[in-house]
Structure 1
Amino acid sequence: MVESSLAGTKAALHRGRASLARIAENIGPPQVPTMSPYEERRLRHYIDRFNARDFDAIRAMIAEDVQLDLVNRLHLRGKSRVSVYFARYDDMADWSLSLGFVEGRPAILVHDPRAAEAAPTSFMLLEWAEEKVAAIRDFRHARYVLAAARIDPAD
C-alpha cells in the first residue's frame, strides 16, 4: 500500500516517533493523570480478583459479548471463548497486576513478581459497559509498546 519495504516502513515510524518526542518536550510537563473514585474502585476490584486468581469472580464481571484482543496474538469474542484466556493466566507465575496509567489513560500494569521493583512488563486496558467488562486489550505479546509509552503508577 505504501510502496515501501518493511525496513523502510519501520525507519519511517522510528523517525515519526522521534519527531513526536521532540514536540512533546516543548509542550511542558505532563499533567498528573487522574480517574474518578468509581472508576478506581472498579479497576481495583478487577485487579484484586485477578491477583487472587479468583477467575470465577472475574468471569462474572465480563459481559456475554466481551471482546478480547491479546495484541499480536489472538482475538476472541464471547464469554465462553474469552474464559480460556483466564485459565492461561492461572497457569503462569510471571505476573502481578497493579493500577496505573498508560499515556494518561487508566490501565492495569503487569509486573513480574520475581523482579523486585522492576518496571512493568506489559499492560492491559479495559472497556466497560455498565458494570461489565466489555473489552480487554492485553499487550503481553506486544511489549515493544512500552518503549515509547508514558507509564505512571497509581499507587
Structure 2
Amino acid sequence: MKFTAAQLNRFLLFKLPSAYICGVRVKEITVEKCVVSVKHRWINQNPFRSMYFAVQAMAAELSTGALVMLHIQQSNQNIAMLVVTNKSVFMKKATGRITFVCQNTHLIETAIQKTIETGEGQTFWLKSIGANEKGEPVSEMDFEWTIKRK
C-alpha cells in the first residue's frame, strides 16, 4: 500500500470502521510527521458536550501508528508492530475540529534499525498532541509501540 492520506483513509474504512464512522481522517503523512483530524459530532460525543476520549485516542493512535507503518514499509523488512501501553492527559474540552500531530520519527527509525541489526524486539514511545481550531492543546497521548522482526 502506498502511504498517502487517501489510501490510509480507505484503509480505515475497511480495517478500522469505528474510527472511520466517528470521522477520524488522515490529513497529511510524510516521513517526518502524521496529521490526523476529527470533528466533534453527535456520533462521537460524550454526555458532557465534548468529544469522547476514545475517539481522541483513535485519532492519536492513528497519527503514531501510520508513521510506524510507513517507516516499516520503507525498511523493506517483515516487522510486526503492536501498542503495549498508552497514557493520556486531557487539558480542555474537545469541541470543534481536533487535530492530532505526531512528529518524533527519529525514535521509529532507531528502533527499526536496532530490530533489524539484532533481531530482538524494540519498544519506543510516540507522542501525539491534539489541538483545537484555535491551536490550544486539548489532549496529549503517548503510545508505547513494540516492533519485532518476523
Q: Highest relative contact order (Cα 8 Å, sep 6+), 1 or 2?
A: 2
Relative to total residues, which structure has the larger strand share, 1 or 2? Answer: 2
- So what's the TM-score if we normalise by structure 1? 0.23
- So what's the TM-score if we normalise by structure 2? 0.24
